[in-house]
Amino acid sequence: MIHMAKLLSDKEQKKAFKKIAEENPGKYYPITVLKQKGFIRKHCINCKKYFWTAVHTKETCGEPECNDGFTVVNNNPKKNHLSFIQVWKKIVEILEPRGYVPIKRYPVVARWNPTTEFTIASIAAFQPYVVSGEVPPPAKKLLIPQFCLRFGDIENVGITGSHCTGFVMIGQHQFVSPEEWDQDQAFRDIYDFLVDGVGLANTEFVIHEDAWAGAGCFGPCMEFFSRGVELFNQVYTLFQQTPEGPIGLNLKVLDMGLGMERVAWFSQGTPNIYEAIFPLVLQRIRERTKVELDYTLYNRFSQFSAFLNIDEVEDMNEAWARVGRELNIDPITLKEKIVPMTAVYSIAEHSRSLLFAITDGKLPSNVGGGYNLRVIFRRAISFIDQFNWDIDMGEVCEWHAEELFEIFPEISESLNEVKAILEIEKQKYYATKKEAEKIVKKLVKKEDITEEKLIELYDSNGINPELIKAAAAKLGKKIKIPDDFYGKVIARHEKIVQVHATNKKIDIDLTNIPDTKKLYFTDYSKTENSAKVLKIQKITHEIEDEEAEGEQMLKITAWAIVLDSSIAYPTSGGQLHDNGWINTIKFIDVIKLGGITIHILDQEPDFKEGDTVTLKIDRDRRKLLTQHHTATHIVNAAARKILGNHINQAGAKKTLEKAHLDITHYDSLTDEQVNQIEQVANELVSREIQSNIRFMERSEAESKYGMSLYQGGAVPGVSLRVVEIPDIDIEACGGTHVNNTREIGQIKIIKSQKIQDGIVRLTYTAGNATKALFEKNEKIKKKLSQILEVSPDELVARSQELLEKWRMLRKAMSTGDYSEYMTTLTIKEKDPDQSLHVLSRFFEISTDMLIGKIQKLKEEWETMRKEIQQIAIVVGEKNVEYLVENAKEVHNVKFIAAIYPNMDNKVLSNLGKALLKKVNSGLIFLIGSSPKGVNFIVMRGEKIKEYNLSKISKQFLQKVNGKGGGKPDSAQGFIQNYKEEPEKLFEIFQKLVFSSIELNK
Ligand SMILES: [Zn+2]
Ligand SMILES: [Zn+2]
């Protein structure tokens, strides 16, 4: 047994174990085999690492720093010349007879693995549950050609000659008991593949002793190096850390992941990795682009390509000049020759990654992993754009599918969709590029483009900073993109909730409480069970206020109850919990903690631990939630049928009133698409399909149905609850579901909205909720038809007419200039679409708010209709003439005063203007009176500038206790609750005017 400090970090653990293993290599490394094969143990004179070599004079370990760097392409002896696909066939040929089962690759979108978005290594296919021992592996010893994606080095692809964003990691894995574990043989298996299969002489590689640690487990490992390149690392995960110190694992895991691209490259000795892995695609691209190949130059160039790492280089031109000096070529010629070559490689490489990612269900977008896909797409297309090549990325994908058909036939299946998605991506690229240039041109003149501005442009215009950088560079401006740019953007975005599970923490002691028997798994329509009370505890509990919009929480005193079995559904998988009663006491929340269901009572229970009780749930609530949940599976399937195989669930929520499903799609949906999805969904419902719900071994379910099982995200546990609607949908799901699709009732999609780049939210009702919705809508229609005085199927045109005339009248209210057209509603037209949807979109409000909105419009329109006639009279020619004729002339001033009921200052001011056109020595005082008080305006003509109305009205307002103000030639105000005769105000004002003349004299 090994003795070490307790619970170290992975890094500390690795270091500590490496020391132990170094001192006793015979115990931890397969040295018997190594010696047999003619290897001896050496100590690197440079880095002091222990390594094994067949070249007995060798003193350095072969790491690039300790050796002469990277020398794959120099004097590389020809090996067995394996093509890319032959590498896989060869390892199968050698290892299959030794008991390794070749299995199919897993998707690159790691739906089953909660720790990673993309599959980044072959072992990730078996994380976390196979590796942890919870779930049996597909085979104890296996081989897998796992396509992986890593986006850490995008800018180096095509340049260094060895970098890829997508690669096949061949996994040699074992998941066996300590008795079955044979480390020497595992080592011999991979060694034989390398020497006999690939044809690498044993003098061509060295093997390092090392250690590995991760997730609390650790073990020794052997790293294979050749010509400065790590070929692979064979890891033996044998031990586990515990508080009592390390112990041997019951499940020994062999983790060897070998880059298929690298092996093909070594075996063929091609000038770079790309030439070895997709020669057919490269040949076709070259036929189109006529790019000449100069391998010698490319090889010399790749040795210095690190100088062009754009993350580190300040001045790109200087960097090219530097490489040129090294190669003794002038930089312009160098660039002209090299850039097209690197472009060809990048286009080929990026297309391959996109092909796998899109096929497996990830779309280019602005968010998360989808963003990486957009970045590589744009990098590739900007090359095509720059050189004006006749190349289509979708077509390149087609070539890849053809070249890889023998090993990955599945990627040919969704080619048309991949092409359609890339076509849209292309259009987006050109559109944003154009916009970026326009915006940057404008911005560069005005201001510096700050980080804040970059984020804003990205968020609101969808222009990524690389395009802005490029556009600015054209204008001679340099822009710095912050390192964590996309992190900052993502932090701003709304999160999509995939699992609507409660994160509620409950302070409850569950020691020795067994998992609850969950009776809802078997039949959703059962609503009652009897059970034994295992635990009662008084707690403080937070409940979601379901009535309130948003996440309002209420804190209450409550009792947590655990039973040995329960029919009640706890909030999980996006489905809300049941409500119900234990005996006669109501429970208001149900929560899942591990395998235990906890019922929350808001009253003290009348039973005690050990009692047998009866649990009943609210049937109607359960039925609604169940209809909405199965409808969600159906809508998902219908959307996939209409929109394509790229549709996957990105999130979902099911409540009583409605449900929503977030789907992965690259564009907003058209009305037609939404209607089609609804139609297909209802067709599926009407087929009366019996659902098939059962528990299955995880590995069996995965191999039978594939990883698209995990629509609701990763699910823990050895066995999965598989919800199958035969021929339509299969998901691993813990929710309650109908037994027959007919029970879902009618599905009505009420809204479709793009909530994020690449994500569309469909909101819908099913069954009883749809009935309730229709009833409610009928009521709304009936009420609207009363308000609008048309029949319920003529609402749309009439509503539009009302809004139009309301607007016209409102405009006419200050001038009095109206026509009869505005004061009558005449349009009667049958609505082509009988739903309230059209109205709700027209007014941009929800259907619930339509009555309020339209009623208000109608009332306002009615009021204006009455008032406008009065206004027209007041502002009209006749009234103006009348007032002018009756003006009182005092001290060369024509004094005009009038009072009108319910007339606002806007109208009065228009009347004032009309009056002053006729009398330029006029002084106008107009009052509008209403129950609230009086408003007034004063104005004067051109000829009597000596009267300062701003001053006079100030004195006036003080006297009458009003509010207001103005300029020397006009002023206005309001006197609240003015109870006396308005005529009195004239007198007061007149006096003030005259006294101001006295003062001026
Ligand atoms: Zn070394
Ligand atoms: Zn589900």
pLDDT digits 0-9 by tens, 855-868:
999 999 999 888 88
For residue 65, the ligand closest to its alpha carbon is 1
pLDDT more than 70, % of the chain: 92
pLDDT digits 0-9 by tens, 361-385:
888 887 778 888 988 898 899 889 8
CA of 501 to the centre of ligand 2 (A): 13
- If you search the block for the tokens 């004179």, which residue do you land on? 45
For residue 573, the ligand closest to its alpha carbon is 2
CA of 49 to the centre of ligand 1 (A): 6
Residue 1 is predicted with a pLDDT of: 43
**pLDDT band per the 50, 70, 90 thresholds, residue 760:** very high
The CA-atom distances, in angstroms, between 228 and each of 61, 65, 204, 514 are: 9, 8, 11, 55
For residue 659, the ligand closest to its alpha carbon is 2
Residue 893 has pLDDT above 90, yes or no: no
Q: Can you tell me the distance from the alpha carbon of 861 to that of 468, in angstroms, rounded to the nearest whole number?
A: 49
For residue 66, the ligand closest to its alpha carbon is 1
Residue 930 is predicted with a pLDDT of: 86
Other C-beta atoms lying within 10 Å of the C-beta of residue 355: 29
Is residue 171 within 8 Å of 102, Cβ to Cβ?
A: no
Other C-beta atoms lying within 10 Å of the C-beta of residue 705: 16
CA of 224 to the centre of ligand 1 (A): 13
Other C-beta atoms lying within 10 Å of the C-beta of residue 147: 27
What's the token pair of residue 129? 């549950």
**pLDDT band per the 50, 70, 90 thresholds, residue 224:** very high
Mean pLDDT of the 537-554 span: 70
For residue 51, the ligand closest to its alpha carbon is 1
Mean pLDDT of the 743-769 span: 90
pLDDT digits 0-9 by tens, 871-889:
888 888 889 999 999 888 8
For residue 691, the ligand closest to its alpha carbon is 2
Q: Can you tell me the distance from the alpha carbon of 736 to that of 654, in angstroms, rounded to the nearest whole number?
A: 11
Q: Can you tell me the distance from the alpha carbon of 569 to that of 519, in angstroms, rounded to the nearest whole number?
A: 9
**pLDDT band per the 50, 70, 90 thresholds, residue 977:** confident
CA of 572 to the centre of ligand 2 (A): 10
Residue 90 is predicted with a pLDDT of: 95
CA of 506 to the centre of ligand 2 (A): 26
CA of 237 to the centre of ligand 1 (A): 24
For residue 67, the ligand closest to its alpha carbon is 1
Residue 486 has pLDDT above 60, yes or no: no
Single pTM value for the model:
0.71
What's the token pair of residue 759? 């994500």
Query: What SS3 state is found at 417?
Result: helix
pLDDT digits 0-9 by tens, 790-829:
998 899 999 999 999 999 998 888 778 888 888 899 888 8
CA of 727 to the centre of ligand 1 (A): 58
pLDDT digits 0-9 by tens, 86-118:
999 999 999 999 999 999 999 999 888 777 889
Residue 550 has pLDDT above 60, yes or no: no
CA of 609 to the centre of ligand 2 (A): 34
Residue 969 has pLDDT above 50, yes or no: yes
For residue 725, the ligand closest to its alpha carbon is 2
Q: Can you tell me the distance from the alpha carbon of 415 to that of 644, in angstroms, rounded to the nearest whole number?
A: 11
CA of 409 to the centre of ligand 2 (A): 30
CA of 651 to the centre of ligand 2 (A): 10
Mean pLDDT of the 43-69 span: 82
Residue 490 is predicted with a pLDDT of: 54
Residue 52 is predicted with a pLDDT of: 94
69: left (phi over 0), alpha (psi -120 to 50) or beta: left
pLDDT digits 0-9 by tens, 766-781:
998 999 888 988 999 9
Residue 499 has pLDDT above 70, yes or no: no
For residue 736, the ligand closest to its alpha carbon is 2
Residue 599 marked ligand-binding = no
CA of 920 to the centre of ligand 1 (A): 101
State phi, psi for 366 to the nearest 5 degrees: -95, 0
Most confident among 214-223, 491-500, 709-718 (mean pLDDT): 214-223
Q: Can you tell me the distance from the alpha carbon of 444 to that of 636, in angstroms, rounded to the nearest whole number?
A: 46
Is residue 596 within 8 Å of 561, Cβ to Cβ?
A: no
Lowest mean pLDDT among 183-187, 313-317, 656-660, 746-750: 313-317
Q: DSSP states of 183-199 as a string?
A: HHHHHHHHHHIIIIII-
Q: Is the dihedral of CA 455, 461, 465, 471 positive or negative?
A: negative
For residue 735, the ligand closest to its alpha carbon is 2
Residue 677 has pLDDT above 90, yes or no: yes
Residue 497 has pLDDT above 80, yes or no: no
CA of 46 to the centre of ligand 1 (A): 5
CA of 654 to the centre of ligand 2 (A): 10
pLDDT digits 0-9 by tens, 595-643:
889 999 988 999 999 999 999 999 999 999 999 999 999 999 999 999 9
Residue 6 is predicted with a pLDDT of: 55
CA of 636 to the centre of ligand 2 (A): 10
Mean pLDDT of the 57-63 span: 83
What's the token pair of residue 713? 């995200």
CA of 51 to the centre of ligand 1 (A): 9
Residue 206 has pLDDT above 50, yes or no: yes
CA of 65 to the centre of ligand 1 (A): 7
Q: Can you tell me the distance from the alpha carbon of 338 to that of 293, in angstroms, rounded to the nearest whole number?
A: 9
Show contacts of 483-488: CB within 8 Å, 24+ apart. Answer: 485/451, 485/454, 485/455, 486/371, 488/451, 488/455
Residue 476 is predicted with a pLDDT of: 74
For residue 50, the ligand closest to its alpha carbon is 1
CA of 731 to the centre of ligand 2 (A): 7
CA of 627 to the centre of ligand 2 (A): 11
Q: Can you tell me the distance from the alpha carbon of 108 to that of 103, in angstroms, rounded to the nearest whole number?
A: 15
Residue 70 burial by CB count (10 A; 0-12/13-18/19+): exposed, middle or buried? middle
Is residue 173 within 8 Å of 122, Cβ to Cβ?
A: yes
Mean pLDDT of the 971-991 span: 87
CA of 73 to the centre of ligand 1 (A): 21
Residues found in the chain = 1001
Q: Can you tell me the distance from the alpha carbon of 388 to that of 763, in angstroms, rounded to the nearest whole number?
A: 43
Residue 633 marked ligand-binding = yes
Three-point CA angle 64, 65, 69, nearest 5°: 40
Query: What SS3 state is found at 570?
Result: coil
Residue 326 has pLDDT above 70, yes or no: yes
Mean pLDDT of the chain: 86
Residue 57 neighbours by CB under 8 Å, 6+ apart: none
552: left (phi over 0), alpha (psi -120 to 50) or beta: beta
Query: What residues have a C-beta under 5 A from ligand 1, the ion?
Result: 44, 46-47, 49, 61, 63, 66
**pLDDT band per the 50, 70, 90 thresholds, residue 689:** very high
pLDDT digits 0-9 by tens, 690-749:
999 888 888 788 878 888 888 887 777 778 889 999 989 999 888 889 999 999 999 999
**pLDDT band per the 50, 70, 90 thresholds, residue 311:** low
227 DSSP assignment: T
CA of 67 to the centre of ligand 1 (A): 8
Mean pLDDT of the 275-303 span: 88
Task: Answer with the residue of higher pLDDT: 952 or 481.
Answer: 952
Task: Answer with the residue of higher pLDDT: 811 or 551.
Answer: 811
Residue 496 has pLDDT above 90, yes or no: no
pLDDT digits 0-9 by tens, 396-429:
999 999 999 999 999 998 899 899 999 999 998 8
Hey, which residues does 590 pair with through a beta bridge? 599
